[in-house]
Structure 1
Amino acid sequence: MVTGAGVVAAVHVGKGAIFGPQLQTTFAVDLAALAWVTAIFAVIGVFGGIPAGALVAPVGDRRVLLSGLGVLAIGAALGAVAQSFSMILMSRIIEGAGFLLVIVAGPAILGRLVSGARRDIVLALWSCFMPTGMALALVIGPMIVDWRLAWWASGGISALFFLGVILSVAGQSAGATGVAWRTVAGDAWATLSNRGALLLAAIFALYSLMFFALFSFLPVLLMDRLDVSLATAGALGAAVTGINVAGNLTAGIMLGRGISRVVLLAGTSLAMGIAALGIFLPVLPDMTAFLLCLVFSALGGLLPATVLATSPVVVTTARQMPIAIGLIMQGSNLGQVVGPVAIGGVFMAFGWSAGAAVVGVAAICAVGLTMLLSRALPAGR
């Protein structure tokens, strides 16, 4: 139920992309304005990750999750009745706040309910929420003829999960919530001073930069390389996004079997950089380049799961975990904001081939940060 709530939250992100053309027609806005329908989520995440995580200890993880689902439902309902583009953006800000509350509370609940090797597997399962939700939006979205109906549907599903969490997810024990705000401030400062947490956030930022450097322009790249229609490019893009889930789940299994976190993080970063060479450089057959997109996504899925599963290892108290998750999400969203902008400028100036250099440099930096992280992890972790 908790992971499902994350998937629902990700659907709210994905619907903005798939229904972008309809929104553009309805409100007569240009592409620059339309980009904010999706980008606003990342901007909120850049600035709100740690504050959202800091709410978990004093308020309670279950209450924060429920609040997030409720805010998502309210934001979607406001968007469904919007009569202007400014009202759509306001509703997306509300949805973005709900999304952030869900994604910081989810791992905190899972970390509380399970422990040991099972926690690595469960957090890996949780890490599937984003690619699963995005893929569902890409697959189901074209079947819905009206964007307002999609907004009502996403809000209704959020409300259903709100009820589902109430009925199925246990709350924290008495005394586990109501932590003093002074204690929360100390935990936030301790997390910001935590070398391991900062390195995890930086590695996740580089991963997001690499991932969205490709996926922000994947339909256009596929149409250009494979000479396919927009509909076909969308279906192929959904397949590439969906296979990322396989990497997430595989990471949980590998961590459960004792595979080193450092090996997974460094190996994944290096593999993504190598795959990017074949994708962006015009040296391989077009279909081979598409197959490398699948490899890029599948292997890339190992990294988010490993980062999230490592977050409980680097913090000193359980209260700091949601704050560390918030910091990591800030890194992820920073990569989502910087990646498409940077790669778009590079593409315009130097063409598709230059993407290989951007992703390659990011991959090398991620490997270097992983080596630094290895010194901050407890022995044997």
Structure 2
Amino acid sequence: MQASHHDIAVREKNSWASVAIIVGSGVVLALQVGKASIAAPLLRADMGLDLAAIGWLTAVIAVLGMLGGMPAGSLVAARGDRRVFLAGLGASALGAALGAAAPGYGWLLACRMLEGLGFLLVVVAGPALLQRVVATGQRDLAFALWSCFMPTGIALAMLLGPLFSSWRTLWWGSAALSLAAAGAVLLLPPSTRGAWRGWRDTGRDALATLRGREPLLLAAGFGLYSLQFFALFNFLPILLTERMGMPLQVAGLLAAAATAANIAGNLCAGFLMDRGVARWALVACGCVVMGLAGSGVFLSVLPDAGSFALCVLFSAAGGLIPATLLATAPRAAPSPARVPLVVGLMMQGNNLGQVVGPAAVGGVIQAHGWPAAAGIAGAAGVLALGVALGLRRSGR
């Protein structure tokens, strides 16, 4: 009996070591996304890029995710989660290395597309890999940890980016990190290749996923969360410097701190799900607080310190949503083989929100001023509440 308990303890230890490798790899890929924003001054000085060109270096990754989520899920189902995860890390490393040697903007943008492909593959394969290596009773917490990879990576990019004197050095360093992550992933249990049934059956699975009520609700929820989060946080440094008059260095630290609050929300969601709190209630709580806090920030209903506190509250409460939705994906899939398709659909919603949110808020602010953006924040919160109620009717 003691040996049995010992074996169980060893398996659990190995399981959480695998989770650390998978989540750490996701953080490395999120850092790849965030490095373009923090390197913007260096890129402008070296290549003479305008803000629109800088914006595309980040937006191209979201556009790829918006279009390729479900195809990437089909690839995971056909080729195996670890293989696709490793391919994503390899593409990211290659894109960063080629980008570091880019002679001009066109080359750099093409390399960012390759990095974006790597990011997409890792993001879609990661949940499938977690589902395979983690015991059923530990999955909610594991998915909560996984959902932290994006804010953690972006916060690290904001903190580490200024330490580099050249954007090319930053790109080389990020390539090395992706290669190191790939080496760690090789330690994970290999995946067996999925039973490839041809494109017709794969297409049938994709259509069945699109017709499912719960997968569409999860995708809509992720899209609305992403719309709200990036609509505010893309403009947070500008809000801190222009509206609150803070120096750029202080604004960067505060933006990183507010982003890190999202991590706490993700972990809190895992803790609460593990204790039986209804998933729809967590999503409802997150979207209501995001809608109210986001509207308060744009309307400047509080002094500067209070507005920043609302940003932190917005970020922390928002963290409840992605962790809950990702942990619900395996339950919403009709079969284990379709989990990557559900996750891919969710990532398409997520990236659609990343593209639409900042564009809509930026246009509204430009035309009507900061307070007008409160309408977008409030409307997205109401729609997300509708998603939460839909999950309640589905028994989640």
TM-score, normalising length from structure 1? 0.96
CA-based RMSD: 1.2
Task: Tell me the distance in 1 between the aligned counterparts of 2:301 and 2:387.
Answer: 30
1:320 corresponds, among 338, 343, 357, to 338
The aligned counterpart of 2:114 is 94
Task: Tell me the distance in 2 between the aligned counterparts of 1:151 and 1:315.
Answer: 37
The aligned counterpart of 2:38 is 18
The aligned counterpart of 1:334 is 352
Is the 1:187–1:319 contact (alpha carbons within 8 Å) kept by the matching residues of 2? no
How big is the shift at 1:172?
A: 2.5
| 1:180 and 2:197 aligned | yes
Q: Which moved more, 1:332-341 or 1:112-121?
A: 112-121
Task: Tell me the distance in 1 between the aligned counterparts of 2:238 and 2:27.
Answer: 26
2:103 counterpart SS class: coil
1:219 corresponds, among 232, 237, 247, to 237
1:288 corresponds, among 295, 306, 309, to 306
The aligned counterpart of 2:10 is none
Write the letter of the residue equivalent to 1:359: A
Matches within 5 A, 1:133-282: 133-167=153-187, 169-173=188-192, 177-181=194-198, 182-282=200-300
The aligned counterpart of 2:75 is 55
The aligned counterpart of 1:311 is 329
Task: Tell me the distance in 2 between the aligned counterparts of 1:26 and 1:158.
Answer: 25
Matches within 5 A, 1:21-60: 21-60=41-80
Task: Tell me the distance in 1 between the aligned counterparts of 2:101 and 2:263.
Answer: 34
Is the 2:83–2:191 contact (alpha carbons within 8 Å) kept by the matching residues of 1? no
Write the letter of the residue equivalent to 1:199: L
Counting aligned pairs with the same residue, the percent is 51
After superposition, what is the alpha-carbon deviation per residue over 1:122-175, rounded to whole angstroms, capped at 9, x for unaligned? 0110000000000000000001111111111110111111111112x11135xx
2:186 counterpart SS class: helix
1:297 corresponds, among 298, 307, 315, to 315
Gaps of 5+ in 2: 1-20
2:162 counterpart SS class: helix
Is the 2:301–2:307 contact (alpha carbons within 8 Å) kept by the matching residues of 1? no
The aligned counterpart of 1:355 is 373
The aligned counterpart of 2:17 is none
Gaps of 5+ in 1: none
Is the 1:192–1:198 contact (alpha carbons within 8 Å) kept by the matching residues of 2? yes
The aligned counterpart of 2:3 is none
2:131 counterpart SS class: helix
Task: Tell me the distance in 2 between the aligned counterparts of 1:237 and 1:300.
Answer: 15
How many equivalent pairs are there? 375
Task: Tell me the distance in 2 between the aligned counterparts of 1:127 and 1:352.
Answer: 30
Task: Tell me the distance in 2 between the aligned counterparts of 1:370 and 1:288.
Answer: 28
After superposition, what is the alpha-carbon deviation per residue over 1:281-308, rounded to whole angstroms, capped at 9, x for unaligned? 1321110111111110011111000010
2:370 counterpart SS class: coil
